[in-house]
Structure 1
Amino acid sequence: MTMKPVRYGIIGCGMMGQEHLRNIALLPDAEVVAIFEPDAEMQARAAALAPQARLVDSLAEVLAIETVNCLLIASPNHRHLEQLEQIAAIRPLPVLVEKPLFTDEADVARLAALRATYPAPIWVAMEYRYMPPVAHLIREAGAATGGIKMLTIREHRFPFLEKVGDWNRFNRNTGGTLVEKCCHFFDLMRLIAGCNPVRIMASGGQAVNHLDEVYDGQKSDIWDNAYVIVDFENGLRALLELCMFAEGARYQEEISAVGPVGKIECLVPGPGRFWPAHLGPAPVPQVVVSPRNPAGPRVLDVPVDPALLAAGDHNGSTFYQHRYFADVVAGGGQPQVSLDDGWWAVAMGKAAQISASTGQAVAGDALSALVPRH
């Protein structure tokens, strides 16, 4: 099969967009052709990372460049759906769109219309699937557990970083913490379970961070902690524990899966740039397998290529994601993370936000109203 070159048009080049630029630069047969970034400072940083790219003033100008044959959307969350609709109306190309796919439950009908008519692949960026220790756990979980019955994801991390215009301080822009931050984890839960959720219960709120933050006279309403319990169709139970004032932890993510014959867990450190230098080298990711019989944990180090660690904050996963997406653009095929996968991840986060706000579990018709239907 003849593989065509992969030539990106980039929409949004803030912190995450710049991570994408660094990782695209590591791909042998890909290049960034055009960048649309309205903030002058972020545009200058993007230009330094991709000096060959043409800087333009609109999404439409990106689409007008004939050599562009795929797109990356890394703009603020609340812009994703409208930009996908604009692309669909002008020149639908293969798209890698950052999570979350959408932010407002009222937009479900718009998303359904997009899915029904968009003629090219839409890949939703769920980087956590591709972290080497997480990918190892996903591959080995069935054998290590004998069939997962309980799944726990703990993220103890640093607070939300500052973004352009402080857009990430408000639920109306992010979809809420359990959408913005946690849709990755709901995607992992559903991927590992191999089926869909039937009930979601949550408790969450703002306990430490953002309490005194005011922007243009408006108080920040983004949450910094939560517990979420998810029941799945096959009986698997999953728990998410999020704390965003625990940056002193050795590991940022700890994922465990347990079944009748044993347990498997992975331990993932946070971004190396945040690790205290006086403590020496940053921790190496690990996978631990703990069979019931014979009892005794086995620890496996899962190191990540230093070049990939230097290219971003997600343990090399952004590179692997782009490599697989580039294969779809160059040779055809279907996204590994579909529009429906991205939709489900947001629906689960929205259900968790609703549950935490109302004190009621979200199930049945209330859950069905949020999820993809064919």
Structure 2
Amino acid sequence: MTSDRLKLGIIGLGIMGERLLRAALAHPGTEVVAVWDPSAPAAARLAGIAPELGMSAEAGAVIAAADAVYVASPPDSHIAHGKAALAAGKALFLEKPLASDLVAAREFVAGARGQRAAVNFPMASSPTVAQLRRWRPEIGRVERIEIKADFAGWPRGWQKDAASWLSKRAEGGFTREVVSHFLFLAQRWGGPLRLAEAGVTYPEGDGSETAISARLWAGDVPVTLSGGVGTTTADEHNLTTIIGSKGQLRLRDWSYGEKLEADGQWRTAPDAMPNAEMRPLTLAGQLDKLAALTRGEETELASLAEALSIMEAVEGILAARRG
């Protein structure tokens, strides 16, 4: 970094790229210097959000202009863009999953060891997760973790523009897109993930999964997981419950931290807010950490190794015998 502000480049201006772009434009420590996406709709969105930027001619121009590069293109292009950014000596912030191919992801992580790279699991900066950590001493030793994720349909209503790949088995599905976030949380609370058994249900054709179940270990903590499409009337509903020797905590619907009280009632943190309101705070925290990573400092961003562990578990679930 040549100044106090992080010079950020963005490759891919879909839903996630646009979210980080808007967060970066509002962040006093970040300057967005270049954006590239080959689609005409993305160019139109950029013109409406930040007309002064203009769309770069190619991904290489973004890498050349930036101190740190955020790669939010579809998963099958992550590694190529990531390698190019690291080869140019830039810090790398990858959208998850690492890639669409597990073997390629393993090779990439091995080759990138020691370089400035991280993966965008926003729970690393979630105010709600920070609240759960503050409560953690009250529940004693973590004995098990239960994860449940339900969807009215897939993709979710606000993701329809990305359905061309999100709805397909090769790169999409709710396990990669959503459940991976809760597995990140379980890994942070327990330890490296290890898949014990799993089942998955697919529709006919090449569509993504409609139901999953799994047992895993996070370090020495057992984790149970279930998820399905058409199992809730809400767009989505999720619960991650952390059961300790003295009490329980849970994360509900992304942004509500709750503690089980002695009367058997769940108490929500007093400053809890809907995810749409919390997201800007979370992304601002991610940008703070990305600036620190770019300076060569240690951060709490998800490492490539952590992301690979999650990807191993996710792909193991998706490769399980069909239900």
TM-score range, shorter chain: 0.7 to 0.9
Hey, what does 2:216 align to over in structure 1?
A: 230
Hey, what does 1:346 align to over in structure 2?
A: 311
* 2:227 corresponds to 1:242: yes
The runs of 5 or more residues in structure 1 that have no matched partner are 212-218, 270-283, 360-374
What SS is found at the alignment partner of 1:172? coil
The within-5 A match list for 1:1-374 is 4-65=4-65, 68-89=66-87, 91-116=88-113, 119=115, 121-141=116-136, 143-158=137-152, 159-160=154-155, 161-164=159-162, 166-174=164-172, 177-193=174-190, 195-206=191-202, 219-234=205-220, 236-246=221-231, 248-249=233-234, 252-268=237-253, 285-291=256-262, 295-297=263-265, 299-303=267-271, 309=276, 314=279, 316-329=281-294, 331-336=295-300, 337-357=302-322
What SS is found at the alignment partner of 1:101? coil
String of CA shifts for 1:42-90, please: whole Å, max 9, x gaps: 121023222232411211121233xx2111110001111121122233x
What SS is found at the alignment partner of 2:209? coil
CA distance in 2: counterparts of 1:84 and 1:74, whole angstroms: 10
What SS is found at the alignment partner of 2:171? helix
| 8 Å contact kept, 2:249–2:259 | yes
* Cα 1:240/1:165, change in 2 over 3 Å: closer
What SS is found at the alignment partner of 2:142? coil
CA distance in 1: counterparts of 2:246 and 2:303, whole angstroms: 32
Identical-residue share of aligned pairs (%): 20
CA distance in 2: counterparts of 1:48 and 1:114, whole angstroms: 38
The one-letter amino acid paired with 2:248 is K
TM-score, L = length of structure 2: 0.86
Larger Rg, first or second structure (1 or 2): 1
| 8 Å contact kept, 2:106–2:308 | no
CA RMSD of aligned residues (A): 2.8
The size of the alignment, in residue pairs, is 317
* Cα 1:186/1:35, change in 2 over 3 Å: same
TM-score, L = length of structure 1: 0.75
| 8 Å contact kept, 2:198–2:214 | yes
The runs of 5 or more residues in structure 2 that have no matched partner are none
Tell me how far 1:140 sits from its aligned partner.
Answer: 2.2
CA distance in 1: counterparts of 2:79 and 2:192, whole angstroms: 23
